[in-house]
Chain A
Amino acid sequence: MAGFATGAGRPLSGRGGSPGFRFALYAILSVGLMVLDQRFDWLERAHYLMQAATYPIERAVSSPLAAWRWTQKSFATRDSLEAENQRLRNRLRDLEVRSMRYDALAQENAALVGLRNSLPPVASRWLPAEIVNIQLDSLRQRVLIDRGSINGVLAGQAVLDDHGVVGQTMHVGPWSAEVILITDPEHALPVAIERTGLRTIAVGAGDSTSLALPYLPANADVRAGDVLVTSGLGGVFPPGYPVAKVTEVHKDAVQPLAHVRAAPFAHLDTDSEVMLIWFRHDALAAPLQEKHGQLVSGNREIHPLAVPEKAPAAKAVKAQLPQAPKGKAVSAAPVKPAVPHATKAAPPAAPGAKAGT
Chain B
Amino acid sequence: MLKTVVGALVLTLLPLPSWLEVIRPGFLALTVLYWSIAAPRAGGIALGWGCGLLLDAFEGPVLGEHALALALLAYLAVREHQRIRSKPAFQQSLIVFAALVIYEFVLFAIDGWSGHALTTPLRWLPTFTGALVWPAAAAILARSYRAQT
Interface of A with B (CB < 8 Å)? 1-7, 10, 12, 14, 19-20, 22-23, 26-27, 29-34, 36-38, 43, 46-47, 50, 53-54, 57-58, 61-62, 65, 133-140, 142, 185-186, 206, 208, 269
Q: Which residue of B lies closest to A6 (CB)?
A: B85
Interchain CB contact (< 8 A) of B46 among A22, A65, A136: A22
Interface residues in B, total, Cβ within 8 A: 60
Q: Which residues in B have their C-beta under 8 angstroms from that of A1? A: 85-89, 92
Interface of B with A (CB < 8 Å)? 9-10, 12-16, 18, 21-22, 24, 37-41, 44-46, 48-49, 52, 57-60, 62-65, 67-68, 71-72, 74-75, 78-79, 85-89, 92, 110, 114, 116, 118, 120, 122-123, 134-135, 138-139, 142-143, 145-146, 149
Q: Which residue of A lies closest to B24 (CB)?
A: A138
The answer for the CA separation of A173 and B44 in the assembled complex, in Å, is 31
**Contact of A23 with B58 in the complex, beta carbons under 8 Å:** no
The answer for the CA separation of A3 and B39 in the assembled complex, in Å, is 12
Interface of B is mostly: helix
The answer for the CA separation of A88 and B38 in the assembled complex, in Å, is 58
**Contact of B139 with A10 in the complex, beta carbons under 8 Å:** no
**Contact of B14 with A61 in the complex, beta carbons under 8 Å:** yes
Given contacts A14-B41, A27-B68, contact A140 B24 (CB under 8 A): no
Given contacts A27-B68, A138-B21, contact A7 B118 (CB under 8 A): no
Q: Which residues in B have their C-beta under 8 angstroms from that of A50? A: 57
Give 10 closest A-B pairs by Cβ, nearest first. A33-B64, A3-B142, A30-B68, A2-B138, A23-B75, A137-B59, A30-B64, A37-B63, A34-B64, A26-B71
Shortest Cβ distance from residue A239 to the other chain B in the assembled complex, whole angstroms: 28
Q: Which residues in B have their C-beta under 8 angstroms from that of A14? A: 41
Q: Which residues in B have their C-beta under 8 angstroms from that of A6? A: 85
